[in-house]
Amino acid sequence: MAEFTPQPSCADDVDHNNLTVKQASQRIHDLLSPISGWQKVSLRQALGQVLHQSVVSPRQVPPYDNSAMDGYAFRSDDIKKAPFSLKNVGVAFAGKPYQGQVEAGQCVRIMTGAKIPDDCDTVVMQEQIEAHEQTITLHTDVTAGQNVRLAGEDIDCGDTVLPAGRRITAADLGLLASLGIAEVVTYRPLRVAFFSTGDELCGLGENLGDGQIYDSNRYTLFGMLSQLNIDVIDMGVVPDNKAALRIALQQASADADVIISSGGVSVGDADYVKDILAELGQVNFWKIAMRPGRPLAFGQIDEAMFFGLPGNPVSVMVTFYQFVQPALKRLAGETDTGPIIVEVPCDNAIKKRAGRFEFQRGILFRNNEGQLRVSTTGAQGSGILRSMSMANCFILLDENCDGLSAGSLVNVQPFAGLV
């Protein structure tokens, strides 16, 4: 189950109606620690999972000295000023080492990756020699040890190759395979239950009634969660009534490490999430000085953590990426290195008032001169999901920013690696 340190609601002197993005992120971070469950999994299964134990190399990579080139292997004692000749006494293929001796004045034809024969330590590229029957003549100067990849050059026995907390990538799978490692110990996947709230919400496949809209938040949430290798529990749409919400939250807290809802956290007459959360567990309700996505309920029901996201579709995605995703990574055991942020000129002017942090949706591109630029996706309303779909980055406008003229430098958080 999730590790969570309950906090008395609103018990300190921070203004809960106006937390900065940084304060809110820090608080979520401080309240969480990784889950304790782990599992042994086969290598392919480990893709996208988080290492619970560091991986220490049981062997050297490469495991033996081998040739970096197609050419001829010989003893460095034989190096003379070019030109000089050597007698070819055999051949070494990758996977089929040369078994004989190599005496002074001799060489062995060798392929890339083949084991360097005993007594040899230097390779000359085949392009740099002239071959006459059993003799080769070297016309360029050579250096002792050249074109040889030494045993243990990449990884030595006992080296930590992957640290605990690392989310395993395709390159890591190859790296582990190169060490002969067939199983690793990872954190067990998080279980996350999510649902939408709202009487106006209609499921796919149903006809839209008067005053209804299709529920899109459950689909963006499903997509965002699936990218984190999470076991998702889709609880559907919960109507705007206290009893239904109570049942949904109780059920979710029994099944999941984390519960995420969207909608019903504002100050409308049908916004009950906060009340029911307070009744069933602990609640930290924050208004964050940000746009979009101002209200965020954060708390705990029994062992499960709860995030009550706003209902507007763009707010859901922005608050997920800024607060929920880092929290899920932390719970899942990942040592998150934080987002990559780049500073680029913005092609268009941006209107903004100081006071709130804005996450505008942007398109990062190269202009005709090959320079990296960003532009906004246009209208930035928190209900305009198309702005997220078109975007490939967030444009980060901090609390102090009071608008930008075209060409100003802005911080940008690319979706690559985030989304």
Report the C-alpha gap between 199 and 211 in whole angstroms. Answer: 9
Q: Tell me the backbone φ, ψ of residue 135, rounded to 5 degrees.
A: -120, 145
Residues contacting Mg ion: total by CB under 5 A: 4
* Interface with ligand AMP, residue 268, by CB under 6 A: yes
* Interface with ligand AMP, residue 362, by CB under 6 A: no
* Interface with ligand AMP, residue 213, by CB under 6 A: yes
* Cα separation values, 63 from 72, 149, 203, Å: 20, 10, 57
Choices 94-102, 144-152, 194-202, 343-351 (CB under 5 A): range interacting with Mg ion: 194-202
* Interface with ligand AMP, residue 117, by CB under 6 A: no
* Interface with ligand AMP, residue 292, by CB under 6 A: no
Instruction: Name the binder of 34 from ligand AMP, Mg ion, none, CB < 5-8 A by kind.
Output: none
User: How far is C-alpha 348 from the geometric centre of its chain's CA atoms?
Assistant: 30
* Interface with ligand AMP, residue 3, by CB under 6 A: no
* Interface with ligand AMP, residue 360, by CB under 6 A: no
* Interface with Mg ion, residue 310, by CB under 5 A: no
- What is the 8-class DSSP label of residue 117? P
Neighbour-count burial of 171, counting CB atoms closer than 10 A to its CB (0-12 exposed, 13-18 middle, 19+ buried): exposed
State the nearest-atom distance from the C-beta of 56 to ligand AMP, in Å. Answer: 46
State the nearest-atom distance from the C-beta of 379 to ligand AMP, in Å. Answer: 16
Choices 115-123, 245-253, 307-315, 343-351 (CB under 6 A): range interacting with ligand AMP: 307-315
State the nearest-atom distance from the C-beta of 279 to ligand AMP, in Å. Answer: 19
Residue 406: left (phi > 0), alpha (psi -120 to 50), or beta? beta
Report the C-alpha gap between 95 and 57 in whole angstroms. Answer: 22
Choices 8-16, 121-129, 152-160, 256-264 (CB under 6 A): range interacting with ligand AMP: 256-264
Report the C-alpha gap between 182 and 358 in whole angstroms. Answer: 46
Choices 37-45, 214-222, 243-251, 395-403 (CB under 6 A): range interacting with ligand AMP: 214-222
User: Which tokens in the block code for residue 310?
Assistant: 């706003």
Task: Verify cis geometry, omega within 30 degrees of 0, for the bond prior to 62.
Answer: yes
- The residue within the footprint of Mg ion, chosen from 34, 198, 308, 333 (CB under 5 A), is 198
Q: Are 245 and 253 in contact (CB under 8 A)?
A: no
- What is the 8-class DSSP label of residue 153? S
State the nearest-atom distance from the C-beta of 212 to Mg ion, in Å. Answer: 12
Instruction: Name the binder of 163 from Mg ion, ligand AMP, none, CB < 5-8 A by kind.
Output: none
* Cα separation values, 365 from 172, 263, 318, 369, Å: 30, 34, 21, 11
* Interface with ligand AMP, residue 159, by CB under 6 A: no
User: Which tokens in the block code for residue 123?
Assistant: 């390779």
Rounded to the nearest 10 degrees, how much is the dihedral formed by the CA atoms of 289, 291, 295, 296?
-90
Residue closer to Mg ion (CB basis): 216 or 348: 216
* Interface with ligand AMP, residue 293, by CB under 6 A: no
Residue with tokens 């490490």: 257
- The residue within the footprint of ligand AMP, chosen from 88, 106, 147, 262 (CB under 6 A), is 262
Residue closer to ligand AMP (CB basis): 71 or 311: 311
Residues contacting ligand AMP: total by CB under 6 A: 17
State the nearest-atom distance from the C-beta of 156 to ligand AMP, in Å. Answer: 53
Q: Are 387 and 315 in contact (CB under 8 A)?
A: no
* Interface with ligand AMP, residue 358, by CB under 6 A: no
- The residue within the footprint of Mg ion, chosen from 165, 263, 333, 414 (CB under 5 A), is 263
Residue closer to ligand AMP (CB basis): 310 or 414: 310
Q: Tell me the backbone φ, ψ of residue 115, rounded to 5 degrees.
A: -65, 135
Report the C-alpha gap between 36 and 154 in whole angstroms. Answer: 33
State the nearest-atom distance from the C-beta of 319 to ligand AMP, in Å. Answer: 11
Task: Give the residue nearest to ligand AMP (CB).
Answer: 311
DSSP string, 233-272: EEEEEE-S-HHHHHHHHHHHHHH-SEEEEES--SSSTT--
Which residues, 174 to 203, sit near ligand AMP by CB under 6 A? 196, 198, 200-201
Please give the residue ranges that form the binding site for ligand AMP (CB under 6 A).
196, 198, 200-201, 213, 215-217, 262-264, 266, 268, 310-313
Please give the residue ranges that form the binding site for Mg ion (CB under 5 A).
198, 263-264, 311
